[in-house]
Homo-oligomer: A and B are copies of this chain.
Amino acid sequence: MKVAVDAMGGDFAPRVTVEGAVKASKEYNIEVLLVGVEDLIKKEFAKLNHSRARVNVINATEAIGMGEGILSFRKKKKSSIRVGTQLVKDGEADAFVSIGNTAAVVYMSRKILGALKGVDKPALSLLVPNLKGLTLLIDVGANVNCRPHHLEQFAVMGHTFMKSVLGIKTPRIGLMSVGEEETKGNELTKEAFDRLEASPLNFIGNVEGKDIYSGKADVIVSDGFTGNVALKVSEGMVETFFYMARTEVMKNFFAKIGFFLMKRNLKRIYKKIDYSEYGGAQLLGINGVCIIGHGRSNSNAVKSAVGLARDFVLNKVQDKIQQEIAELSHRLSEIEG
């Protein structure tokens, strides 16, 4: 198996991306293609112990920055994200991993790889940790305007992912809303509720914002606008809490000692709730495998993202999604016709 890694993406590129790629190649015994500015990659590579690592470099002379928008995506014909996606399209790589500009990866995947047959809107999904395990949020930002049947497709794709990659037999599907009762929600979710209830999925009804962390559902479905806001609220909350803790602790001698004694445990909690540890977001419903990690990922997180890409390929998730979506349209056409 060959996984292409965007060497130029993320806050600490190309250092962490090259390190992560080498680690991944060794640990998973796969070939990694590092896509980016050749000289820079080789310089980083030379610093590492890369015996046993199967790593090759694919030159891409441009990089897309975190703040850049659609004009750059189009203009930079030699960006590492475009070249990496094209490798998947051409069958030169089995998957593409980037910790760079999320919007650029979503744009390029749609443009170059296209959606799977029957999928109206490929969606971005992310595993977040909860008290008992992991919950998949779908969509976390690829589609800000959705119709009810899109949410239904998201549910099918999330179901398939959790079943084939995490091995959950009948994933519990929750619909993000403003209250548990069936009558709670906006126009979009009320119609999506009826569709999900009629589906053969294990639909457990509406869930609320707090249920992201309660572990009540294995998959939580929402439009990409709501999902993105929810995710960024969490990020802000964690950062604020740790900032407050540091400030508060510095005020008091005993608290300082207490903090010192608890430091390892607090770090462990931070790691647990920091979703950059979980390998990154997956584009579901695209005709190819694309994983997008958090920009602040370290080399271990890059390695995890490559590992997730590998699991994705081995489990043939996209094939299964295409099959499940075809069954969904078949059921719907039977009901309608």
Contact = CB atoms under 8 A, between A and B. Distances in A.
Contact of A236 (B181, B213, B223, B236): B213
A257 interface: yes
Nearest to A238: B237
Contacts of A251: 265
A239 B236 CA distance: 15
A178 B237 contact: no
Contacts of A233: 209-210, 212, 230, 233-234, 237
B234 A187 contact: no
Interface string A229-250: 1111111111111011100110
Contacts of A260: 258
A248 B265 CA distance: 6
Stoichiometry, as copies per complex, reads 2
Interface stretch (A154-162, A268-276, A308-316): A268-276
Interface in A109-159: 130-131, 141, 144-145
Interface in A247-269: 248-249, 251-252, 254-255, 257-266, 268-269
A225 interface: yes
A269 B255 contact: no
Interface of A: 69, 130-131, 141, 144-145, 176-178, 181, 183, 185-187, 189, 208-214, 222-226, 228-241, 243-245, 248-249, 251-252, 254-255, 257-266, 268-269, 272-273
